[in-house]
Amino acid sequence: MDRRTRPPTNDARTRAGMDRRTFLQRSGIAAMGVAGVDASALPPEPAEPHVRGYRTLGRTGLRVSDISLGSGGGFENAGVVRHAYERGITYFDTAESYRGGSSETMIGEALRDVRDKLTITSKVVTRAKWKRGRMMKALEGSLRRLRTDYVDIYMSHAVNNVARLQSDEWREFTALAKRQGKIRFTGMSGHGGHLIECLDYAIDHDLVDVVLTAYNFGSDPAFYERFTKSFDFVANQDGLPRVLAKAHAKGVGVTVMKTLMGARLNDMAPYEWGSATFPRAAMRWVLSNQNVAAAVLSMKTKARIDEMLRASGDSEVRPADARLLRGYVAANSTTYCRNACSDCTGSCPLGVPIADVLRTRMYEVDYGDSQLARSGYAALDTNASPCLSCANPTCIDACPYGLEIPTLTRQTAQLQRSAGRSQRG
Interface ranges with ligand SF4 (CB under 6 A): 337-338, 341, 343-344, 348, 350, 352, 354-355, 358, 386-387, 390, 393-395, 398-399, 401, 403, 405-406, 409
- HEC string for 90-105: CEEECCCCHHHHHHHH
What's CA 248's distance to the chain center, in Å? 18
Q: How far is the CB of 356 from ligand SF4 (least distance, A)?
A: 9
CB neighbour list of residue 203: distance below 8 Å, 6 or more residues apart: 211, 243, 246, 247, 250, 252
CB of 234 to ligand SF4, least distance (A): 12
* Torsion angle of C-alpha atoms 93, 214, 204, 92, degrees rounded to 10: 10
> How wide is the angle at C-alpha 69 spanned by C-alphas 63 and 73, nearest 5°?
155
The smaller minimum CB distance to ligand SF4, of residues 72 and 400, is found at 400
Q: What's the rounded Cα separation, in Å, for the pair 77 and 229? A: 44
Q: Cα(296)–Cα(307) distance, rounded to whole angstroms?
A: 14
Name which of 247 and 390 has its Cβ closer to ligand SF4.
390
Q: How far is the CB of 229 from ligand SF4 (least distance, A)?
A: 22
The least CB distance from residue 244 to ligand SF4, in Å, is 18
- Comparing CA positions, the residue from 419, 414, 344 lying closest to residue 383 is 414
Q: Which is nearer to ligand SF4, 256 or 348 (CB)?
A: 348
In the bound state with ligand SF4, the residue whose beta carbon lies nearer, of 79 and 393, is 393
**Smallest gap from residue 398 Cβ to ligand SF4 (A):** 6
Provide the minimum distance between the beta carbon of 183 and ligand SF4 in the complex, in angstroms, as a whole number. Answer: 32
Phi, psi (degrees; rounded to nearest 5) at 270? -65, -15
- Of 173 and 336, CB closest to ligand SF4: 336
Each residue of 341-370: b (16+ CB within 10 Å) or e? bbbbeebbeeebbbbbbbbbbbbbbbbebe
Contact 409, 358 (CB under 8 A): yes
- Our CB check for ligand SF4 shows the closer of 392 and 422 to be 392
